[in-house]
Chains A and B, each alone.
Chain A
């Protein structure tokens, strides 16, 4: 197997694993956060505004972890930095 196909295979598998594992923790975390916020709103409906704002800020913090994973996956698939070292060699060799 030449280095080009190894890089392609590794990039696709790595991006899938990155996205999959990265979103598990984020999903669990967001679920817990929303659950606690709903319970708090049910107990104290007067504080709904402050609770919702804090919930949004917290969810944004949690979600950014999944977004990092997504960005890394996109970079690995569409803008892979390792291609640039391989493609000139292939063009020159072929």
Chain B
């Protein structure tokens, strides 16, 4: 049961409902499905949280996910802050859910369409200056563009755009190529081999979600200038700890 044929390069081409200039295609439908799943699950789980020793099992799952994301963000930024958690966590959970649900037959991942990934990349593109200006002030943030000397200004601007494009095309290319590979394998070796590729697809989906979130975090961290200030002070205690543990 394949919704997309091999010739369709993007789920945008599957039009489900059309009225005047409003078009509902498969990308929109499955994006709403993922959004609904995330919102309903978080609402139902966080409705009755408990801080005791016996917590509900779903709360345990959510705590593991949120704790791991917070740990990763703190390792990248080297700051003790939850400021980036809503943005990065939302992006990560959305991409992860939409990538992992593709083992359900009839589901087409919305991230296999360039429109979804471009929208996510534009969010990152806008979030970088917002966080940077909030952290450093507008003058200091703009100074970063002229960093070694003023000649580098066009290269910095070019880098901003090209990395946004790379972010969008990387996620789209990975997910779309995987769908195409499975569609081709279904035509050649129908029974067992596509299942193995689906298992590999779970891994690829998780890694791509991780990479997207980490890259967004790295871009934001480079704009907020967290690394430059924290590097020397963070290096000294770890050396001291190593020496102490060696003894």
A71 touches B172 (CB 8 A): yes
Complex CA–CA separation, A77 to B72 (angstroms):
40
Which A residues, 58 to 79, have Cβ-Cβ distances below 8 Å to chain B? Answer: 60-61, 63-64, 67-68, 70-71, 74-75, 78-79
Which A residues, 27 to 76, have Cβ-Cβ distances below 8 Å to chain B? Answer: 46, 49-50, 53, 56-57, 60-61, 63-64, 67-68, 70-71, 74-75
Nearest-neighbour CB distance to chain A for B143, whole angstroms, equals 26
Identify whether the interface residues of B are mostly helix, strand, loop, or mixed. Answer: helix
B9 touches A60 (CB 8 A): no
A74 touches B9 (CB 8 A): yes
Stretch at the interface among B55-63, B100-108, B128-136, B211-219: B211-219
A60 touches B177 (CB 8 A): no
Which B residues, 144 to 194, have Cβ-Cβ distances below 8 Å to chain A? Answer: 166, 169-170, 172-174, 176-177, 180
30 contacts between A and B (CB under 8 A): A46-B242, A50-B75, A53-B72, A53-B75, A53-B76, A56-B207, A56-B210, A56-B211, A57-B211, A57-B215, A57-B218, A61-B166, A63-B170, A64-B169, A64-B173, A67-B169, A67-B173, A67-B177, A68-B173, A70-B173, A70-B177, A71-B169, A71-B172, A71-B173, A74-B176, A74-B177, A74-B180, A75-B9, A78-B7, A79-B9
